[in-house]
Amino acid sequence: MTCDLTNPIFTDEAAAIAHLEHDRWAQGVTCPLCGSDKAKKMGGQTQAGMFLCGDCRGKFTVRTGTVFERSHIPLHKWLLATHLMASSKKGISAHQLHRMLGITYKSAWFMAHRIREAMTPAVAAPVGGGGRIVEADETEIGGSHKTKKPLGGKKRANNKKFVSLVERDGKVRSAVIDGRNMADVRAAVRANLDPDSVLHTDGAQFYKGLMPVGQHESVDHDKQYTRKAKGNAATVHTNTAEGYFSLVKRGLVGTYHHVSPAHLPRYLAEFDFRMNTRTKLGFNDLTRAAAIIKGVEGKRLTYRQVG
């Protein structure tokens, strides 16, 4: 099922507000300031969409306590931008949002970062578990070996590197690492991998000793890209992780063109989110966008934090 762009929630502000209120408070309005359920909608044209809490006497709207808070952009444009980012496999640039939504480029850039913040899980559960196979690999974002023109500097040593843990037929988790200290790779794997998983990696030395005997398999890429494991175990490879890297790099290079090292973690969270809500796992464009809307609550991102 695809997104119906003729839906009034993308063009009419009242419909967008009603949609978000129902989505956020399906069981009844709860005050985001104190948690009370004694809230009532205020009347009058100047206070449209505003609620008054019967306990703390605070006033709030459906935006309060979300990444939409204090934004002057209409909610129907926020919903449209969310659906566009949810359904664009390789991302959608701020310039494209700026043209499609009729807002400034600066506003579109900030809007996209706030939506990425909603894509970032509040609590990141470990990847894998219960004997599931998780592939781990690291890569870098920047220029090629020939051009030597990397992200964030003039030397390839300044390229930004990250590691991804990809569960076969499951979820993915990426983390930015310090390329000068491969101890960060080990730390990232330990922090994001369920200890009961089976880890598949390439032959890099820094993966050795991370898992108990029998829970780590590696393949030497100087000789082969896949190999048969002993017994009836699954084939050892990191092809799934490398395929994911290919998708991320196509998006970062082909769609965004330049990504600041300071913002790379948020871009990775965007690609991780879409991978974790892909069709194979039972999602479509509508449910993926709905998952982003669920993630807006309890988060704030100011321009000072990203500017």
- Whether 231 has a pLDDT exceeding 90, the answer reads no
- Write down the pLDDT at residue 148: 45
Fold of 133-265: Nucleotidyltransferase; domain 5 (3.30.420)
Output the pTM of the full model: 0.91
pLDDT score, position 45: 75
Is pLDDT above 50 for 221?
yes
- pLDDT tens per residue across span 158-205: 688 999 999 999 999 999 998 667 889 999 999 999 999 999 999 998
For residues 45-74, give the mean pLDDT. 93
Q: Is the pLDDT of residue 12 over 70?
A: yes
Q: Read off the pLDDT band of 82 (50, 70, 90).
A: very high
Specify the amino acid at residue 155.
K
Q: What's the pLDDT score for residue 232? A: 65
Q: Look at 259 and 109; give whichever has higher pLDDT.
A: 109
Predicted pLDDT at 223? 84
